[in-house]
Amino acid sequence: MAYKILEGIRVVDLTTVYAGPMGTRMLADLGAEIIKIESPKRPDLFTRMTAYPDNEPPEKENWNAGGYFHLLNAGKLGISLDLSTEKGKEIFKKLVKISDIVMETFSPRVMDNLGLGYEELKKIKPDIIMVSMSGLGHYGPLRDYYMYMTGMEGMSGLTYITGHPDQPPLLSNYAYGDWMLGVTGAAAALTALYYRKKTGKGQYIDVAGREAIVIHIGDVIMDYTLNGRVKERSGNANPEMAPHECYRCKGEDSWINIAVENEEQWQALCKLMGKEELKDDPRFSTMEARVKNRDELNKIIEEWTSQHDHLELMEKLQKEGIPAGAVLSMKEVHLNPHLIQRGFFEVIDHGKDVGKRPIGKQMPAKFVGLESYTPSRAPRFAEHNEYVFCELLGMSKEELKKLEEEKVIGTVPRFPPGRPTRLDLIEKQAGKGAGYVDPNYLEELRKVFGEDIAKK
């Protein structure tokens, strides 16, 4: 029997795109019941239309096939409901009445304008926990700024300290800021659940993505508040460690991170490189000297690393107790023996047009000794209308039909024609390519996750 830690906790999920859905996916991985609400007029567009299986948008129901949507919304239930209609609001309130948590990522004011702000919801369900997630927070002079992950990261100080000194400041490139916002929202929701368990009281929670990110560079901020020192971006250099760099390896675009923490590791590295003379070289004989002469040091080390395969080299370095991590590409992540053996990927069957695909966990922690719980596939649009409206809220099938006719709910969202991802442009971007397309990826995945991967 799969063990659901948060079994019985019901979350009304109004979030869309990236940030919020990551937070609610995490709660779904923990076994909470997540009811994702989408408007038939405004479905969760971007993720639903991005990464169609094998880059072929299906002719029918193209809104149900996006890979991003599948990953971000596994384990959730999906319903449709137009909150701009009176009936939609009424039904929403009924749903809130039987739920524990409401999570939303609308711009500040939207929920209040809909008449569905915390004060209203509290009247219906006094102990409701409502989590509002936004870029800069729900009050303050800049609360209405248009914010995406870019602004949240850019205004947090994190971007300023990231990247090489001779290049512009670098964003995370993988929506880390969005992850921070959604996941901090999930963390806050669980914090409030504990308080409710003790006191019976619900509450309103205001999460600002930018602030959530600042908290993750607290030590950098403190160097400023304690010493007035502003950290500048320095690539991969570390003020306390050298070698501490991402080194080129043999093969195209292949890299390894090596970070030597002490003399023992340094001596082991010199031996492994066959350059024991470096140990006594005054330029490198102490950590301080190595930090100072890191550019020269890095050149010497890269000469050596560039003759080796990054994965083999990692094994060799680790055998000598030297912290080294091959810089894995997404392909390598999917084929990584450690992640596979630990069960990081779960094979989830998405049914027609998609088949089984490995889906990464959003809650990577394992609960030892408890039967692991694999989330169900992401819901099809409005898939759980009947369960939620009839079973949970006690409506009749006739009422459901009427709501459909009145367009309060609907099973067909307003959705543009599906388009493939322009992999050809990605491969040519900026002359060098924004990524690599592996034509044999399904075979690779089948070798690891089973022959039935992606059998449609």
Partner 1 sequence: MGEERALTGLRVLDLANNIAGSYCGKLLADFGAEVIKVEPPKEGNPLRKKAPFFKDEQDKEKSGMFFYLNTNKKSLTLDITKQEGAEVFKKLVKNSDVVIEDFEPGKMKEWGLSYDELKKENPKLIMTSITWFGQDGPYKDFKANNFTAYGIGGAMYVMRPTRWPDTRPAVLGGYQAEYTAGLIAYIATMAAVVSPKEEGTWIDLSVMEAVTSTLTGIMADYSYLGLSRRTLPWAIHGFPTQENYPCKDGYVNLTPGIGGTQAIADLIGKPEERENPLLVKAGARVKEPEKFEALILPWLKEHTKWEITEKAQKLRLAFAPILSPGELPDDPQIKAREFFVKVEHPEMKEVTYPGAPAKLSESPWKEGRAPLLGEHTQEILNSAGLSEKDIKELQEKGIV
* Contacting partner 1 within 247-276 (CB under 8 A): 248, 253, 255-259, 261, 265
The residue written with tokens 């990524």 in the block is: 435
Half-sphere exposure (Cβ direction) of 174: Cα atoms closer than 13 Å: 3
Q: Is 286 in the site for partner 1 (CB under 8 A)?
A: no
* Cα→Cα distances 337→193, 249, 342, 384, Å: 37, 20, 8, 37
* Whole-number Å distance between alpha carbons of 210 and 212: 5
Q: Is 341 in the site for partner 1 (CB under 8 A)?
A: yes
Close Cβ partners of 62 (under 8 Å, ≥ 6 residues apart): 49, 52, 415, 417, 418
Name which of residues 397 to 456 contact partner 1 (CB under 8 A): 421-423, 425-426, 429-430, 432-442, 445
Given candidates 1, 59, 86, 167, which one binds partner 1 under the rule CB under 8 A? 167
Q: Quote the tokens at residue 185.
A: 């929202």
Q: Say which amino acid occupies 28.
A: A
Q: Is 156 in the site for partner 1 (CB under 8 A)?
A: yes
Least separation in angstroms between CB 69 and partner 1:
9
DSSP state of 392: I
Q: Among 163, 158, 168, 171, which residue's Cα sits nearest to residue 220?
A: 158
Name which of residues 110 to 139 contact partner 1 (CB under 8 A): 118, 131, 136-137, 139
Half-sphere exposure (Cβ direction) of 370: Cα atoms closer than 13 Å: 12
Q: What mask, x for binding partner 1 by CB under 8 A, covers residues 23 to 62?
A: ---x---x----------------x--xxxxxx-------
Given candidates 168, 274, 394, 416, which one binds partner 1 under the rule CB under 8 A? 168
Q: Is 83 in the site for partner 1 (CB under 8 A)?
A: no
Q: Is 238 in the site for partner 1 (CB under 8 A)?
A: yes
Total of chain residues touching partner 1, rule CB under 8 A: 175
Q: Among 245, 338, 251, 250, which residue's Cα sits nearest to residue 290?
A: 245
Given candidates 233, 316, 380, 407, which one binds partner 1 under the rule CB under 8 A? 233
- How many residues are listed for the chain in this entry? 456
Q: Is 338 in the site for partner 1 (CB under 8 A)?
A: yes
Least separation in angstroms between CB 436 and partner 1:
5
DSSP for 242-261, written as a single string: SSEEEEE-SSTT-EEEEE--
Q: Which is nearer to partner 1, 115 or 235 (CB)?
A: 235
Q: Among 306, 332, 326, 300, which residue's Cα sits nearest to residue 314?
A: 326
Least separation in angstroms between CB 398 and partner 1:
35
Given candidates 42, 90, 98, 230, which one binds partner 1 under the rule CB under 8 A? 230
Name which of residues 300 to 329 contact partner 1 (CB under 8 A): 314, 318, 321-329
Contact 33, 9 (CB under 8 A): yes
Among the candidate windows 171-179, 285-293, 388-396, 397-405, which touches partner 1 by CB under 8 A?
Answer: 171-179
* Whole-number Å distance between alpha carbons of 320 and 57: 49
Phi, psi angles (nearest 5°) of residue 92 = -55, -45
Q: Quote the tokens at residue 141.
A: 């002079």
Q: Among 79, 19, 59, 76, which residue's Cα sits nearest to residue 348?
A: 76
Q: What is the dihedral of CA 23, 29, 30, 34, to 10 degrees?
A: 60
Given candidates 41, 98, 263, 333, which one binds partner 1 under the rule CB under 8 A? 333
Least separation in angstroms between CB 199 and partner 1:
7
Q: Is 195 in the site for partner 1 (CB under 8 A)?
A: yes
Q: Is 140 in the site for partner 1 (CB under 8 A)?
A: yes
Q: Is 225 in the site for partner 1 (CB under 8 A)?
A: yes
Q: Is 10 in the site for partner 1 (CB under 8 A)?
A: no
Name which of residues 345 to 374 contact partner 1 (CB under 8 A): 357-370
Q: Is 236 in the site for partner 1 (CB under 8 A)?
A: yes
* Whole-number Å distance between alpha carbons of 292 and 288: 6
Q: Is 198 in the site for partner 1 (CB under 8 A)?
A: yes
Among the candidate windows 86-94, 230-238, 270-278, 390-398, which touches partner 1 by CB under 8 A?
Answer: 230-238
Q: Which is nearer to partner 1, 123 or 401 (CB)?
A: 123
Q: Is 70 in the site for partner 1 (CB under 8 A)?
A: yes
